[in-house]
């Protein structure tokens, strides 16, 4: 049964944990009593951890992101994608020699389907380097699932084998990746993890933060998304004491835009405005002293999103935060057309941003406290439509950070084929790993107990394992 | 099913529309027969509405014929009611609009608006500005004139109802200027905007076809250059438009009842309208199209080693090339288009199929209600609008005039809600257009150089015709988390744009615009000057024009008290007078009673 409404387990878990902490007494060194506190343990540790969701809106073309490099598999890829003879680029296939600079080498030997070896998109030099040095892993063919599915089960359309709703649809699949529910869901799994972590933080609003627009990923049952601009919190200047020759207007403005209202929409509007004003001074005061020497490309909004995340992490002590969930995003991945022009630019942007971000976490001494994962609406077809690809399902994704057991592939590599039973037509991958499993693996690292993971990811029990291993 | 553009038709009986009060009907002997009996003509008669927006109990009676010697009319709507109507149907209003509304009545006013020729097209305006002349700074690759064009239209065009409705449709059948590359992006988006305006008072079927063939939609949703399958290489037709035309432009994801609620089976499961197979099949119909370069002339310019095309391709429907069109059989939504059906015929069958799907009325109607009136219309309201979509009363499906009329004249639109949940958040771009019109903005040089205002930290977080994706700026089903809206099971689409950054960015930006304008575009507060020393009169005027008096007397009293700390009289400086006006506007247009339009 597909369930996108979460029972109130996490609230209960929160209460239980709060009671356990209270029982320790003020003098108890919490970190020394982790094991005895049970569910309260990890999430209330004194260390810092952050998960960063890096979302590619539009559906990333997996096949030109993680690309077959060994010749037999490359040739299959090139044939399907319209590559030119002599292993030159053509159609939407990259040329083989273009991949020479981004070949992936696992830290320990790994044998994948049909002995496939991979390279990354030519622009992902920094990501390839992170992989090859063990700081990045690749989760192969992951996507929304309710239960594990074989092709025959998928094609049966039987209620015994439930499928995620509205496969191949942008808005629904991006919602499912973020919340496990289709469009209209109001609680994301990042937000649910935030619910469990919120009590660890001095400022609860600093738990779940979007440096992009409103995103369901960072909305919890209790945790609110806090939205921040790439330049930090934006003050509402006219409400800060004086405007148009009048302090009275400024004072009244602040009252009118923040006061509680009986009309629910008016109130909902003012609640956000009040939050904006309340947090602005706190956040900017904490950000002010932060200096990062790591360079972020200032012409690139995506890099600037990562930069403000890095700056907030740098301000973690001033803000009193121990556990944070961040959301950054970049659009433009829906390349039905112009794939060979547009996708490389997006890959270059991603490479620049994530490389700077990883370097910043090293600079801040938190490389092994911050884990970034990529996500996207869906993968795309392996088949091409002229100069692009169409909506798919499963995709390959990156997990990046010092705590990642990197230099390794996780999951099952799909065949390079339009025919095999690991895809549902035109190379739309049938996921062999569920988003829930990827989330559970991150959640375990973040500090969630087994029951907390179940509360956040109620379908996790449908899958063979809640730990894919990429976090050690 | 046949369809046709209809002329303004006799108004059929409709219990939701204003009815003529019996005592006002002229005596029978003074009535001549008329080929077009109806309220449109009755607007010229001495009639009165049974009640402002009420009239729900009537059973029609509108077909009383035309009069010969109409006596002067005044519907005498309460100002707040008239203003409320005008702020749903337009961006802003002038006192002359109030007079026209009182003279014609809601229904007659709509008829007059429908009959008003469209203003100058966006393309014509840009041409008059000289934007079609290639310049060495590469304007042929620039998109900014498209921004100037749309802001100018939203802020100044006099055919406001048409523009307001076209903007609403632009948020459902989305094409966005953002990703356009190549030649003349500003003309490509203007061609789309002009197409919307040309057909927004016509028939939905025509609108759907014309929008489908715009170069803008072709570029945005990849039908431009879409090629048939190629078994030799494995190439497949592009599926993007096939998917989005169903999911977003016409029928949506789930089968709907006429009231917009999803149909469910006995277990409560919703029924999906289409499958991936429907998409892959329909995709074949949309192959073979591309931008039409046949009317273009190419100009040699000194600074380039290639020629620059003229802009006609951007305003011509896409051209069809049979060589690139799939001739495979198409099976979708239960319809089979036989193999080897010529492309234009296949397109007709496909669009007819979508147009005649029972979802279109409630799917389109509900979203248009959301844009113009309220975020959470009752199922009955949706049902009444959808019924008008399905049959305008004369057997015509898809008559958009009937739809706009049904939306704006419905009881639920015309009755001020008294609960604490109804209404909608005013969109930022509409707030800015309203400000501009209410306070007489003008251009110092005629250029109207207002750029993309999508910036969130400085800007309004939204810019017309610049949706971030085909999913519009916000989704019709968006629910702001952890709010009473969510707890009530309601939606609030525009809240998807509202967050800690955008609210600050808007107020800061707007404060600057109030004071200094934006570039060459400046407000003119001259009309405020007669009331400048009378703060109550000033605020009353603004409250009516900005919110239809929906800002409460209590809030107005607070604002007055704050304003009155700084008395103004005729001898005050212009600077101080302007400050008073800006303080009033800032407080009114920032307060939640204004922001939530009821």
pLDDT above 80: residue A24:
no
Same domain, B78 and B212: no
Taking the CB of residue B274, how many other CB atoms lie within 10 A of it?
Answer: 20
pLDDT tens string B377-399: 999 999 999 999 999 999 999 99
Alpha-carbon span A216 to A213, nearest angstrom: 10
Q: Which of residues 47-66 of A touch B (CB under 8 A)?
A: 57-58
* Residue A201 belongs to some domain of the structure: yes
At which of B85, B115, B145 does a domain end? Answer: B115
Residue B62 predicted with pLDDT over 80: no
* Cβ distance of B579 and A57 shorter than 8 Å: no
Contact (Cβ atoms closer than 8 angstroms) between residue B507 and residue A238 = yes
What are the chain B neighbours of A273 within 8 Å (beta carbons)?
503
Pairing of strands A136-143, A395-400: antiparallel
Percent of chain A residues topping a pLDDT of 70: 90
Interchain CB contact of A292 with B (< 8 Å): no
Q: Read off the tokens for B418.
A: 């008294």
Element (H, E) at A208: strand A208-210
3-state secondary structure of B598: coil
Residue A410: enclosing H or E segment and its boundaries? strand A409-410
Domain final position from B325, B358, B391: B358
- Pairwise CA distance, residues A321 & A46, whole Å: 10
Query: How many structural domains is chain A composed of?
Result: 1
Mean pLDDT computed over B200-218: 98
pLDDT at B73: 66
Q: Which residues contact B219 (CB under 8 A, 6 or more apart)?
A: B175, B179, B180, B182, B188, B291
Residue matched to tokens 């949940």: B421
Average of per-residue pLDDT across B575-579: 97
- The domain in which residue B312 lies consists of 203-358
What would you measure as the largest C-alpha separation in chain A, in angstroms? 75
Contact check, Cβ <8 Å, A249/B479? no
- Tell me whether residues A257 and B555 touch, CB distance under 8 A: no
Task: Indicate whether B12 pLDDT > 70.
Answer: no
- Residue A166 is predicted with a pLDDT of 87
What does the pLDDT look like over B301-315, one tens digit per residue?
999 999 999 999 999
| Mean pLDDT in residue range B324-335 | 98
Residue B163 in tokens: 């523009």
pLDDT band with cut points at 50, 70 and 90 for residue B41 = very low
Shortest Cα–Cα distance, B425 to chain A (Å): 8
Residue A97 to residues A70, A128, B157, B506, Cα–Cα distance (Å): 11, 16, 57, 49
Nearest CA in chain A to B246: A169
Alpha-carbon distance B486 to B497, whole Å?
16
Cα torsion through B44, B45, B48, B52, rounded to 10: -20
- Tens digit of each residue's pLDDT (9 = 90 or more) over A407-418: 999 999 999 999
B157 located within any domain: no
Q: What is the pLDDT of residue B4?
A: 41
pLDDT tens-digit map of B393-442: 999 999 999 999 999 999 999 999 999 999 999 999 999 999 999 999 99
> DSSP code of B533?
T
Task: State which of B115, B150, B175 marks the end of a domain.
Answer: B115
The pLDDT score that the predictor gives to residue A26 is 37
pLDDT at B558: 98
CB contact under 8 A, B469 and A170: yes
Note which residues in 318-337 of chain A have CB less than 8 A from chain B: 331-332, 334, 336-337
The torsion defined by the Cα of B201, B202, B204 and B206, in degrees rounded to 10, comes to -140
For A57, name the nearest residue in chain B, comparing CA atoms only: B469
Domain count of the fold of chain B: 3
Best A248, A265, A341 member to test B by mutation, with max B CBs in 10 Å, is A265
pLDDT at A181: 87
Question: Tell me, what's the pLDDT at B458?
Answer: 87
Please tell me if residue A346 touches chain B, with a CB cutoff of 8 Å.
no
Give the Cβ contact number of residue B282 at 10 Å: 27
**Nearest CA-CA distance, residue B121 and chain A, Å:** 30
| Mean pLDDT along residues A338-361 | 97
End-to-end CA distance of chain B: 38
CA pair distance A31, A261, nearest whole angstrom: 43
ipTM of predicted assembly, 2 dp? 0.88
User: Shortest Cα distance from A187 to chain B (angstroms)?
Assistant: 7
- Residue A210 resides in a domain: yes
| 8 A C-beta contact, residue A384 and residue A394 | no
- Residue B456: the pLDDT is 86
Contact A336, A256 (CB under 8 A): no
| Closest CA–CA distance from residue A472 to any residue of chain B (Å) | 34
**A&B contacts, CB < 8 Å:** 247
pLDDT tens-digit readout, A124-151: 999 999 999 999 999 999 999 999 999 9
Test A186 with B481 for CB contact under 8 angstroms.
Answer: yes
| pLDDT at residue B34, as a whole number | 38
Is pLDDT of A20 > 70? no
A253 occurs within a structural domain: yes
Q: Specify whether the CB–CB gap between B393 and B9 falls below 8 A.
A: yes
- pLDDT number for residue A44: 60
Contact B317, B214 (CB under 8 A): yes
What percent of chain A has a predicted confidence (pLDDT) above 90? 84
CA distance A210 to B511: 26
Give me the pLDDT at residue A209, please.
97
Predicted local confidence at residue B3, as pLDDT: 38
pLDDT of residue A13: 40
The label of the residue with tokens 């000194």 reads B302
What is the distance between the alpha carbons of residues B186 and A365, in angstroms, rounded to a whole number? 48
**B431 and B353 fall within a common domain:** no
A177-186, B32-41, B549-558: the lowest-pLDDT one = B32-41
Is the pLDDT reported for residue A444 higher than 60?
yes
Rounded Cα gap, residues B34 and B137, in angstroms: 60
Assigned domain for A109 exists: yes
**What is the bridge-based pairing of β-strands B298-299 and B308-309?**
antiparallel
First to last CA, chain A: 31
Q: Which of B234, B506, B563, B577 to mutate to test the interface with A (most CBs of A within 10 A)?
A: B234
Q: How far apart are CA A268 and CA A266, in angstroms?
A: 6
Section B205-219 average pLDDT: 97
Instruction: Provide the mean pLDDT of chain B.
Output: 89
Q: Are the Cβ atoms of B457 and A418 closer than 8 angstroms? A: no
Cα separation of A265 and B480, whole Å?
10
Q: What is the pLDDT of residues A227-274, one digit of tens each?
A: 999 999 999 999 999 999 999 999 999 999 999 999 999 999 999 999
Please name the helix (run of DSSP H) or strand (run of DSSP E) that holds residue A52, with its range, or none: strand A49-56
pLDDT of residue B490: 97
Q: For residue B456, list chain A residues with Cβ-Cβ distance below 8 A.
A: 213, 229
Q: Which residues in chain B touch residue A304, judged by CB atoms under 8 angstroms apart? A: none
A22 within a domain of the structure (yes/no): no
User: From CA A163, how far away is CA B275, in angstroms rounded?
Assistant: 13
The helix (H) or strand (E) run that includes residue A252 is: helix A247-258
Res B244: pLDDT = 96
pLDDT score at A388: 94
Q: What was the pLDDT predicted at B106?
A: 98
Provide, as residue numbers in chain B, all residues whose Cβ is less than 8 Å from the Cβ of A79: 234
Residue A17 pLDDT level (bands cut at 50, 70, 90): very low
Q: Is residue B434 part of a domain?
A: yes
CA dihedral A356, A359, A365, A371 (to 10 degrees): 70
A297 touching B (Cβ < 8 Å):
no
Cα B107 to Cα B90: distance, rounded to the nearest angstrom: 15
Distance of alpha carbon B6 from alpha carbon B395, whole angstroms: 11
Looking at residue B555, what is its pLDDT?
98
Residue A283 and residue A274: Cα distance in Å, rounded?
Answer: 14
Residue of B nearest to A247 (CA): B562
Q: How many CB atoms lie within 10 A of CB B60?
A: 14
∠ CA(A292), CA(A293), CA(A299), 5° rounding?
85
Say if B300 falls within a structural domain.
yes
Instruction: Examine residue A407 and state whether it is found in any structural domain, yes or no.
Output: yes
| Minimal C-alpha gap between A246 and chain B (Å) | 8
Quick check: A423 pLDDT over 50? yes
Q: Is residue A344 part of a domain?
A: yes
**What is the DSSP code (8-state) at residue B307?**
-
**What would the pLDDT profile of A195-226 be if each residue is shown by its tens digit?**
999 999 989 999 999 999 889 999 999 999 99
Q: Which of residues 403-422 of A touch B (CB under 8 A)?
A: 418
**What is the average per-residue pLDDT within B166-176?**
98
* Residue-level length of chain A: 472
Q: What does residue A180 show for φ and ψ, rounded to 5 degrees? A: 65, 10
Inspect the interface and report whether the beta carbons of A265 and B475 lie closer than 8 Å: no
Rounded alpha-carbon distances, angstroms, from residue A264 to A121, B67, B349, B478, B503: 48, 48, 46, 15, 18
> Across-strand partners of A391?
A380
pLDDT of B20 reads: 35
Residue given tokens 């002349």 in the structure block: B133
What was the pLDDT predicted at A344?
A: 98
Q: Which of A238, A265, A279 is closest, CB to CB, to B507?
A: A238
Residue range B511-515: mean pLDDT, rounded: 97
Evaluate if residue B369 carries a pLDDT over 70.
yes
Assess whether pLDDT exceeds 50 at residue B595. Answer: yes
Token pair 């004194």: residue:
A46
Say yes or no: B445 and B582 in one domain.
yes
Q: For residue A193, what are the domain limits?
A: 58-462
Q: Contact B239/A245, CB-based, under 8 Å? A: no
* Residue A278 falls inside a structural domain: yes
Q: What is the pLDDT of residues A64-115, one digit of tens each?
A: 999 999 999 999 999 999 999 999 999 999 999 999 999 999 999 999 999 9
Q: Do B471 and A231 touch (CB under 8 A)?
A: no
Contact by Cβ (8 Å): B488, B471: no
B64-68, B360-364, B453-457: segment of lowest average pLDDT: B64-68
Statement: residue A7 has pLDDT above 50: no
Predicted local confidence at residue B234, as pLDDT:
81
pLDDT band at B14 (very low <50, low <70, confident <90, very high): very low
Spatial CB neighbours of B564, under 8 Å, sequence gap ≥ 6? B535
Determine the Cα–Cα distance for residues A269 and A265; give it in Å rounded to an integer: 6
Given pLDDT bands bounded at 50, 70 and 90, which one contains residue B71? low
| Radius of gyration for the alpha carbons in chain B, expressed in angstroms and rounded | 25
Q: Closest to B480 (Cβ–Cβ): which among A57, A268, A387? A: A268
């Amino acid at each position: 049964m597909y369930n996108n409404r979460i029972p109130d387990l996490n609230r209960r878990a929160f209460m239980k944990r709060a009671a356990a902490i209270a029982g320790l007494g003020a003098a108890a060194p919490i970190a020394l009593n982790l094991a005895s506190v049970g569910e309260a343990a990890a999430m209330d540790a004194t260390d810092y951890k952050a998960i960063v969701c890096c979302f590619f809106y539009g559906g990333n073309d997996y096949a030109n992101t993680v690309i077959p490099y060994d010749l037999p598999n490359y040739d299959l890829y090139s044939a399907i994608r319209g590559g030119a003879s002599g292993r030159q680029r053509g159609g939407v296939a990259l040329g083989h020699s273009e991949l020479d600079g981004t070949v992936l080498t696992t830290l320990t030997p790994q044998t994948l389907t049909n002995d496939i070896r991979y390279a990354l998109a030519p622009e992902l030099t920094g990501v390839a380097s992170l992989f090859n040095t063990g700081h990045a892993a690749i989760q192969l063919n992951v996507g929304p699932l309710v239960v594990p599915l074989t092709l025959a089960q998928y094609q049966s359309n039987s209620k015994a084998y439930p499928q995620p709703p509205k496969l191949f649809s942008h808005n629904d699949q991006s919602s499912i990746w973020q919340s496990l529910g289709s469009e209209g869901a109001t609680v994301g799994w990042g937000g649910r993890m935030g619910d469990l972590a919120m009590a660890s933080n001095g400022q609860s609003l600093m738990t779940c933060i979007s440096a992009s627009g409103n995103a369901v990923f960072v909305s919890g049952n209790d945790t609110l998304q806090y939205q921040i601009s790439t330049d930090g919190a934006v003050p509402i200047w006219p409400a800060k004491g004086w405007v148009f020759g009048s302090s009275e207007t400024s004072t009244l403005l602040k009252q009118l835009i923040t006061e509680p209202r009986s009309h629910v929409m008016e109130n909902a509007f003012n609640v956000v405005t009040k939050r904006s004003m309340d947090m602005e001074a706190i956040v900017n005061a904490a950000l002010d002293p932060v200096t990062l020497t790591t360079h972020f490309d200032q012409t690139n909004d995506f890099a600037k999103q990562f930069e403000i995340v890095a700056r907030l992490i740098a301000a973690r002590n001033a803000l009193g935060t121990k556990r944070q969930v961040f959301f950054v995003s970049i659009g433009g991945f829906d390349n039905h057309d112009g794939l060979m022009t547009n996708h490389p630019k997006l890959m270059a942007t991603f490479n620049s941003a994530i490389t700077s971000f990883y370097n910043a976490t090293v600079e801040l001494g938190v490389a092994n406290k911050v884990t970034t994962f990529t996500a996207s609406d869906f993968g795309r077809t392996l088949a091409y439509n002229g100069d692009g690809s169409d909506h798919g399902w499963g995709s390959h994704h990156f997990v990046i950070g010092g705590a990642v057991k990197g230099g390794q592939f996780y999951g099952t590599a799909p065949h390079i084929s339009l025919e095999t039973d690991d895809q549902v037509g035109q190379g739309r991958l049938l996921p062999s790993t569920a988003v829930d499993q990827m989330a559970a693996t991150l959640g375990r690292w973040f500090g969630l107990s087994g029951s907390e993971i179940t509360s956040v990811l109620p379908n996790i029990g449908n899958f063979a394992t809640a730990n894919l291993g990429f976090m050690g | 099913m046949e369809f046709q553009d209809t002329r303004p038709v006799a108004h059929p009986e409709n219990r939701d529309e204003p009815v003529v009060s019996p005592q006002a009907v002229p005596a029978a002997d003074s009535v001549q027969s008329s080929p077009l009996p109806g309220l449109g003509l009755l607007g010229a008669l001495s009639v009165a509405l049974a009640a402002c927006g009420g009239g729900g109990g009537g059973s029609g009676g509108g077909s009383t014929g035309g009069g010969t010697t109409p006596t002067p009319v005044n519907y005498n709507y309460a100002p707040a009611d008239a203003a409320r109507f005008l702020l749903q149907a337009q961006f802003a209003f002038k006192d002359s609009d109030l007079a026209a509304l009182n003279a014609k009545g809601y229904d007659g006013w709509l008829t007059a608006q429908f009959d008003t020729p469209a203003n100058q097209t966006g393309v014509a305006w840009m041409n008059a500005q000289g934007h079609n002349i290639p310049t060495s700074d590469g304007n042929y690759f620039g998109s900014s004139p498209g921004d100037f064009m749309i802001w100018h239209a939203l802020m100044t065009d006099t055919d406001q109802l048409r523009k307001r409705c076209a903007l609403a449709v632009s948020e459902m059948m989305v094409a966005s200027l953002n990703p356009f590359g190549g030649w003349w992006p500003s003309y490509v988006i203007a061609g789309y905007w002009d197409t919307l305006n040309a057909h927004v008072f016509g028939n939905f079927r025509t609108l759907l076809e014309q929008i489908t063939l715009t170069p803008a939609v072709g570029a945005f949703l990849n039908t431009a250059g879409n090629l048939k399958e190629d078994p030799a290489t494995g190439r497949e037709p592009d599926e993007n438009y096939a998917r989005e035309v169903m999911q977003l432009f016409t029928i949506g994801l789930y089968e709907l009842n006429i009231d917009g609620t999803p149909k469910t089976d006995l277990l409560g499961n919703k029924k999906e309208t289409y499958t991936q197979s429907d998409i892959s099949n329909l995709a074949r119909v949309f192959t073979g199209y591309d931008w039409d370069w046949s009317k273009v002339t190419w100009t040699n310019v000194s600074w380039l080693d290639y020629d620059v095309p003229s802009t006609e391709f951007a305003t011509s429907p896409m051209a069809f090339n049979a060589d690139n069109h799939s001739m495979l059989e198409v099976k979708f939504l239960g319809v089979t288009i036989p193999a080897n059906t010529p492309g234009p015929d296949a397109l007709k069958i496909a669009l007819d199929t979508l147009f005649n799907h029972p979802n279109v009325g409630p799917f389109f109607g509900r979203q248009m209600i959301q844009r113009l009136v309220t975020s959470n219309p009752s199922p009955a309201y949706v049902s009444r609008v959808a019924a008008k979509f399905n049959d305008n009363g004369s057997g015509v499906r898809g008559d958009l005039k009937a739809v706009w009329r049904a939306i704006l004249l419905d009881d639920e639109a015309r009755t001020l809600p008294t609960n604490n949940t109804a209404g909608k958040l005013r969109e930022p771009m509409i707030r800015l257009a309203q400000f501009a019109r209410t306070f007489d903005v003008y251009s110092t040089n005629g250029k109207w150089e207002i750029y993309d205002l999508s910036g969130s930290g400085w800007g309004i977080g939204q810019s017309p015709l610049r949706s971030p994706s085909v999913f519009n700026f916000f989704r019709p089903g968006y629910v702001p988390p952890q709010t009473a809206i969510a707890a009530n099971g309601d939606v609030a689409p525009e809240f998807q744009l509202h967050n800690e950054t955008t609210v600050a960015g808007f107020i800061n930006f707007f404060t600057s615009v109030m004071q200094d304008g934006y570039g060459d575009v400046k407000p003119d507060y001259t009309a405020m000057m007669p009331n400048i020393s009378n703060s109550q009169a000033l605020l009353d005027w603004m409250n009516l024009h900005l919110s239809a008096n929906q800002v409460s007397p209590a809030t107005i009293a607070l604002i007055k008290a704050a304003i009155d700390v700084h008395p103004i009289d005729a001898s005050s400086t212009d600077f101080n007078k302007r400050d008073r006006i800006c303080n009033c506007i800032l407080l009114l247009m920032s307060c939640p009673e204004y922001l939530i339009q009821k």
